[in-house]
C-alpha cells in the first residue's frame, strides 16, 4: 500500500491560521502586532526569494514586517550596528539575518549580536542551551520544530520509537536529535544520528521507525535503506538538472521519493513537505517573542 503523504502545505496553513488568530487577539487586547525584521546582505537570488516569502507571510498574518537590504560590500561593523538598532526597537520582536552572508562577515559574531529574546531562528547559544535542557519557554529551531509538528498533527507519536536522523548540522541534525529525545509529549524517541563519517548508513536507517533525512544529497535515501512501514521525513532540498522543465532544473529531496513511498507508511514530499513548515514555525516564534515582550506566556 502506498505511503500516506504528510502534506506540509495543508499543515502549515493550519499553523498559520492559528498564528493569525492569536496575532489578531493580541492586537485587540494589547494594541501590538508581532514584528519581524529580515536583514539581507547582498543580492543572492535564492536569498532574495527566501526573504521575499518570509516578508509576504508575515504581512499575510497581520505582522509588522521590516526588510532591510544591505550592499554586499557592507562591513561587519555596519551590519552589527543595524542589528543593535533592531535589538533596541520595541516594534521588532524577531530578527534574522539571511544566510549566506558575504565572506567579510563573521556569521558567528552576527548570531551572538542578536538579542536572544529576538533570536527567532534559535541560533544563539542561549536559546540552543535552553533547547537542550528542555526549557520550553525558549525558542525552538524552525525546521526541526516544523518536523515535530508534522508528526504530531499527522497522529504519529515518536514515543518509544527508534528515530534515525541523517545529518548533524547545527540548523537541522543536532536540534532534531534534541527535540526527538526530549522527555515530552510527542517526543521520547530513541535517536541515532548518522552523518558523512558513518560507515554503512543503511545499517542504521533500516532500524528506524522514523527516518529524518537532512544530508543534502539528492535521492540519497533509497527503498533498500528503510524497513517496511517506516515514517520518512525528507528535509533535503536539492536542485538537479531536468531538461524537460522550463527552468532546466527541478527540486528534489534527499529521498528517492517514488521507490521509498512504495515501502514507507508515511512520507513528506519535496517540495510541499517540510519547507512550508519552516516559515510557519518562524512566524510562530515571532508571535511567542511578542507575547513574552508584553509580559504574557509564550503560548496562550
Residues with a known catalytic role: 54, 98, 121
CA 52/CA 226 separation, integer angstroms:
37
**If we measure between CA atoms, which residue out of 250, 23, 36, 278 comes closest to residue 144?**
278
CA 254/CA 90 separation, integer angstroms:
41
Q: How far is CA 259 from CA 194, 210, 218, 225, 266, in A?
A: 21, 17, 14, 11, 13
Q: Is 45 exposed, middle or buried (0-12, 13-18, 19+ CB in 10 A)?
A: exposed
CA angle 241, 245, 249 (to 5 degrees): 25
Determine if residue 155 is left, alpha or beta; phi over 0 gives left, psi from -120 to 50 gives alpha, anything else beta. Answer: left
CA 90/CA 191 separation, integer angstroms:
40
Q: Which three cell numbers stand for residue 127?
A: 536559546
Q: How far is CA 278 from CA 35, 82, 154, in A?
A: 18, 25, 17
DSSP states of 183-228:
SSTT---EEEEE-TT-S-HHHHHTT-SEEEE-S--TT-B-GGGS-T
Q: Which three cell numbers stand for residue 59?
A: 504581512
Q: Which three cell numbers stand for residue 50?
A: 527566501
**If we measure between CA atoms, which residue out of 102, 94, 92, 93 comes closest to residue 69?**
102
Amino acid at each position: 500500500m502506498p505511503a500516506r503523504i504528510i502534506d506540509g502545505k495543508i499543515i502549515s496553513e493550519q499553523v498559520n491560521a492559528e498564528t493569525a488568530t492569536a496575532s489578531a487577539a493580541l492586537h485587540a487586547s494589547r494594541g501590538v502586532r508581532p514584528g519581524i525584521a529580515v536583514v539581507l546582505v547582498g543580492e543572492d537570488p535564492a536569498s532574495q526569494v527566501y526573504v521575499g516569502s518570509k516578508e509576504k507571510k508575515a504581512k499575510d498574518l497581520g505582522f509588522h514586517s521590516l526588510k532591510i537590504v544591505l550592499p554586499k560590500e557592507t562591513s561587519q561593523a555596519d551590519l552589527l550596528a543595524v542589528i543593535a538598532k533592531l535589538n533596541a526597537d520595541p516594534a521588532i520582536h524577531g530578527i534574522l539575518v539571511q544566510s549566506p552572508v558575504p565572506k567579510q562577515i563573521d556569521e558567528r559574531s552576527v548570531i551572538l549580536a542578536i538579542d536572544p529574546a529576538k533570536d527567532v531562528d534559535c541560533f544563539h547559544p542561549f536559546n540552543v542551551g535552553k533547547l537542550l535542557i528542555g526549557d520550553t519557554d525558549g525558542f525552538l529551531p524552525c525546521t526541526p520544530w516544523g518536523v515535530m509538528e508534522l508528526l504530531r498533527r499527522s497522529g504519529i507519536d515518536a514515543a518509544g520509537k527508534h528515530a534515525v536522523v541523517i545529518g548533524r548540522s547545527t540548523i537541522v541534525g543536532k536540534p532534531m536529535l534534541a527535540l526527538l529525545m526530549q522527555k515530552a509529549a510527542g517526543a521520547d524517541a530513541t535517536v541515532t544520528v548518522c552523518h558523512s563519517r558513518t560507515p554503512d548508513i543503511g545499517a542504521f536507517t533500516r532500524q528506524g521507525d522514523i527516518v529524518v533525512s537532512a544530508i543534502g544529497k539528492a535521492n540519497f535515501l533509497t527503498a533498500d535503506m528503510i524497513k517496511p512501514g517506516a515514517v520518512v521525513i525528507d528535509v533535503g532540498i536539492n536542485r538537479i538538472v531536468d531538461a524537460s522543465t522550463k527552468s532546466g532544473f527541478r527540486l528534489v529531496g534527499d529521498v528517492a521519493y517514488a521507490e521509498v513511498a512504495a515501502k514507507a507508511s508515511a512520507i513528506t514530499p519535496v517540495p510541499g513537505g517540510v519547507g512550508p513548515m519552516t516559515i510557519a514555525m518562524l512566524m510562530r516564534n515571532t508571535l511567542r517573542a511578542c507575547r513574552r515582550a508584553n509580559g504574557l506566556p509564550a503560548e496562550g
